[in-house]
Amino acid sequence: YVLCISVLVLIACSGGEDTSIVEQGFTRAEQQLSNQLKAVPEATEYPRTIGKDGKLKVTRKNDWTEGFYPGCLWYVYEYTNKEDWKKAAIKWTESLEPLKKMTNHHDIGFLMYCSFGNAYRLTGNEAYKDVLVESARSLCTRFNEKTGCIKSWNYRKSWNGKDEWFYPVIIDNMMNLELLYFATKVTGDSVYAKVANRHAETTAKNQFREDYSNYHVVNYDAETGEVLNQATCQGFSDNSAWARGQAWAIYGYTVVYRETLDPRYLDFVQKVADVYLERLPEDYIPYWDFDDPSIPNAPRDASAASVTASALLELSTYLPDKKGDEYKNAAIRMLTSLSSDKYQCGKSKPAFLLHSTGHLPNNSEIDAAIIYADYYYIEALIRLKNLIEDKAVI
C-alpha cells in the first residue's frame, strides 16, 4: 500500500508523466471509431456530431469538417500500427481529393492537411504530396496583397444582419497556414510561406485586442486594405473572447513560430496563451465564450480544450524550463479532464468527447460531441506520448 502511494506521489511530482490517459484514450478511440465505421460504411459520408436523438450525423464533402475523420483514423493507425485502420484512413482520405480545387472558402487547410497531411506524413506517398500542393495553390487564390491576408468567406451579411462583410477574415484561418508552410518545404517555392507569413503578421496586427484576446471576424476593404470593422460570428458578442477563437490562435501562432523561428511570434503566442489560461475554470475546460454572462451555467467547449492542449504540448518544447513546464502541465490537466467520465462519451456512442459548442448564436451543436474535438484530443494524446518518450512531439 505504502509502495503504491509512493509511486502515485512520484508520478504526480514528475509532472504527471503517466501514460494511462494515452492508453485509455486510444482504447476508447478504437472502440468508437469501430462504431462509426459500422454506422457509416462508405466514404461519401463523414461523421460530424451526435444528434439529440443519439444518432450519428454526417456531412457529405460540403462542409469544413470532413478532414477530421480520416485524421482520427490516421492517428489511431499511427498509435496501433494496425493495417485495418490504415485501409479505412486511406479510403476516407482519398475520397476528399476533388476538394483540392476548392477556392470558394478558406477551410481547405482543415479539410486537406488533417487528412492528406497525416496520410503523407505516415505513408510518404508522393501522390498525397501533390494533392497538398495543389490545395495550397487553391488557398493562395484567396490572398490579396492589399489586405495582406487570406479571405476566409466570400461576401456575406454579418451575423446580426446589420453589417456587410466584404472581405471577412476569421481567426480560424490561422489553422490553414500549416498547409502553406508544408507546400513551400516540399516544393522549394517560397510563395506559399510568404503568403502564410504575411497573413500571420496582418492578423497579429488587426485581429487582437490589447489583452491579446481576439476578434472572431475582421472585415477588410479589399481595395484599400483598411480594416472596416471587428466583430464576431460565433462568439457571444463583438467584444467577447470566444474560446475556440482563442484556441485557434494559440495553435496557429505556435505553428507560425515553428516554421519561422521568429522570436516575436514566440513572445506573441505566449501572451495569447496566457490570457486563455488565466480565464479557465477549475477543470481547465473553457466555457464556450469567456464573456458569456451566464457563466457558470453557460455550456463548455471541449473542442477548444482539445485544440489548446495539443498546441501547448508543442509550444512547451520551444520554451525554457519554467514556462515550458507550465504549458505542459496545463495541457496534461486539460487532457486529464477530457479523459474523465464527465467528458467522455462512453462505450456505446460513436464519438470520443462530449460537451463541445459548435455555433451557439446559430443554436447549433451546443453541448455536443463534435468531430474536431475528437481529432485534436487524439492528436494531443499522441503528442503527450511522444513527449513522455522523449521523441519529437510532431
Q: d(Cα 327, Cα 333) in Å, to the nearest integer?
A: 10
Nearest distance in Å: CB 372, ligand GLY: 7
Is 172 an active-site residue? yes
Helix or strand or coil: residue 284?
Answer: coil
Give helix 371-388 / helix 20-39 axis angle, nearest 10°: 150
Q: Which is nearer to ligand GLY, 135 or 234 (CB)?
A: 234
Choice among 84, 172, 211, 374 that is catalytic = 172
Nearest distance in Å: CB 65, ligand GLY: 8
Is the Cβ–Cβ distance between 300 and 285 less than 8 Å? yes
Q: Which is nearer to ligand GLY, 78 or 379 (CB)?
A: 379
Q: d(Cα 292, Cα 157) in Å, to the nearest integer?
A: 23
Nearest distance in Å: CB 264, ligand GLY: 26
Nearest distance in Å: CB 41, ligand GLY: 27
Query: Which run of H or of E encompasses 217?
Result: strand 217-220
Nearest distance in Å: CB 124, ligand GLY: 29
Contacts with 369 (C-beta within 8 Å, 6 or more apart), sequence order: 49, 50, 345, 349, 351, 352, 353, 354, 356
Q: Which is nearer to ligand GLY, 245 or 350 (CB)?
A: 245
Q: How far is CA 170 from the centre of its chain?
A: 14
Nearest distance in Å: CB 375, ligand GLY: 12
Is 211 an active-site residue? no
Choice among 63, 84, 107, 130 that is catalytic = 107
Q: Which is nearer to ligand GLY, 156 or 185 (CB)?
A: 156
115: DSSP letter:
I
Q: d(Cα 121, Cα 116) in Å, to the nearest integer?
A: 8
Nearest distance in Å: CB 358, ligand GLY: 6
Q: d(Cα 35, Cα 13) in Å, to the nearest integer?
A: 38
Q: Which is nearer to ligand GLY, 64 or 166 (CB)?
A: 64
Residue 334's φ and ψ, nearest 5 degrees, are: -60, -45
Torsion of CA 355, 357, 360, 365, to 10 degrees: -80
Burial class (CB in 10 A: 0-12, 13-18, 19+), 76: buried
Output the residue with the shortest Cβ distance to ligand GLY. 172
Q: Which is nearer to ligand GLY, 90 or 368 (CB)?
A: 368
Q: Which is nearer to ligand GLY, 172 or 259 (CB)?
A: 172
- For ligand GLY, the binding residues (CB under 6 A) are 64, 172, 234, 244, 358
Q: Which residue has the cell 490579396?
A: 144
Other residues' Cβ atoms within 10 Å of the Cβ of residue 180: 27
Active site residues: 107, 172
